[in-house]
Structure 1
Amino acid sequence: MNNLIGNAPRHPGLWVDMNSQLKPSHQNTISTVSSCTQGKNELQALTPQLARLSQQGQWVVLISPPNIGYKQMLADAGVRMDRILLVHTKDEVEALWAMEKALTSGTSSAVISWTQSLDERDNRRLQIVAKNTQALGVVIEDANSHLPVTAHMHEDLGLQQACLFSSFH
């Protein structure tokens, strides 16, 4: 066995993969942000980067986005709308599965998923998946998910009513 190794370092931790050094380095992590605006402000902050990534010809994947006017927001930022892949899921498990698949497909430049909240196990699972991808990964958690459904409805109703009324002089 020693004859086969030759002059190579004997400890596997010292072996170097030359192919990985040639690839551009990304942080390879999934960013998780908590949002009180259903991700509207967070998506708005990402639009310049998404516009640049959409020009590369790969998919920008949106998983279970709420109705926050994201189509107009992305179009106004110059994102190529023919590169948007919209995925609707029935539950959190399916959303995480879709995110994993989109990140590891090799055809996505960005994957953004909306979810209630990630537990530690799911967060760790996504971080492991992120090590094998070059795509931007963002999970937008609903900061109000701990509130009862009726609180969401009253909060949304108040916002909707505020938008219906305007002052005129």
Structure 2
Amino acid sequence: MEQAIDQLLARPGIWRASETARHTGARGEHIPTGFSVLDTALPGGGFPSGALTEVLHDSHGMGELRLAMPALARLSRGGRWIAMIAPPHIPYAPGLSARGMDLSRVLVVHPTSEQQSRWALEQALRAGTCAAVLAWPEHCDDRSLRRFQLAAETGNSLGLLFRDSLAAGQHSPAALRLRIDSDNGQRLGVRVLKCRGATPGPVQLDDRPAGALHEQQPLPLHN
């Protein structure tokens, strides 16, 4: 009997209570955004892991991806994947690398339809192999958002949905909703729309995260 137990415990898929977490962003914890002002404004001190975060913006390129880059760089060094589902532009590898991303842990998925995009997003969130899943859905109804939220909880993944600011008036089960107010190349204006325990309102990010690109350098996504 003891020999059988020893063989079982030797299998790599067995977790022991004495073991430390194998990856950054354990269930129920928060992932620092890399912007100290925003981390202070959020009760958990960052993006909630195992949940959806919505980043709303008026148009692509306002700084929405730059807002997430410090957290993504941190997660990419934790051993799990960073998945991008149907990005609106081609990911620019040198730009991602300059911000500290481990490119060997980045997956880019190019579905051929919106339906396939939603399916890929849900599967990536649920799988448990992705530390973060980024998506740019064109349309999201309440049912789809709830499925994504449940999938993020199941897979303990940070789900980042970049959506049009018009979605601000739509009910959402996302744990955190932020809106990009402005980006003049040096600062990000962020408004907290929804966060349990936080007061909704603007947050001016005066500090730039370590490893941020200079204004003249290429952005992580480009045509």
TM-score normalised over the length of structure 1: 0.65
Check 1:31–1:136 CA distance in 2 against 1; reply closer, same or farther (3 A cut).
Answer: same
- For 2:61 and 2:28, the matched residues in 1 are separated by 27
Picking from 91, 97, 102, the partner of 1:75 is: 97
Over 3 Å off, 4+ runs: 68-73, 142-145
Check 1:37–1:73 CA distance in 2 against 1; reply closer, same or farther (3 A cut).
Answer: farther
Give matches, 1:128-167, under 5 Å.
128-143=150-165
Instruction: Confirm or deny that 1:60 pairs with 2:82.
Output: yes
Instruction: Confirm or deny that 1:120 pairs with 2:145.
Output: no
Q: Which moved more, 1:128-137 or 1:67-76?
A: 67-76
Q: CA deviation at 1:109?
A: 0.6
Maintained 8 Å contact 2:124/2:130: yes
- For 1:40 and 1:51, the matched residues in 2 are separated by 19
Maintained 8 Å contact 1:51/1:77: yes
TM-score normalised over the length of structure 2: 0.50
Partner of 1:45: 67
Unaligned segments of structure 2, at least 5 residues: 1-16, 30-47, 168-223
Q: Which amino acid aligns with 2:134?
A: I
Picking from 108, 113, 125, the partner of 1:86 is: 108
- For 2:63 and 2:143, the matched residues in 1 are separated by 27
Unaligned segments of structure 1, at least 5 residues: 1-18, 146-169
- For 1:34 and 1:110, the matched residues in 2 are separated by 18
Check 1:39–1:92 CA distance in 2 against 1; reply closer, same or farther (3 A cut).
Answer: farther
Structure (1 or 2) with the greater helix fraction: 1
Q: Which moved more, 1:69-78 or 1:129-138?
A: 69-78
Q: Which is higher, the Rg of structure 1 or of structure 2?
A: 1
- For 2:61 and 2:161, the matched residues in 1 are separated by 9
Secondary structure of the 2:133 match is strand
- Aligned-residue CA RMSD in angstroms? 2.4
- For 1:99 and 1:81, the matched residues in 2 are separated by 20
Q: CA deviation at 1:138?
A: 0.8
Partner of 2:121: 99
Secondary structure of the 1:65 match is coil
- For 1:39 and 1:129, the matched residues in 2 are separated by 28
Secondary structure of the 2:155 match is coil
Secondary structure of the 1:66 match is coil
Q: Which amino acid aligns with 1:114?
A: W
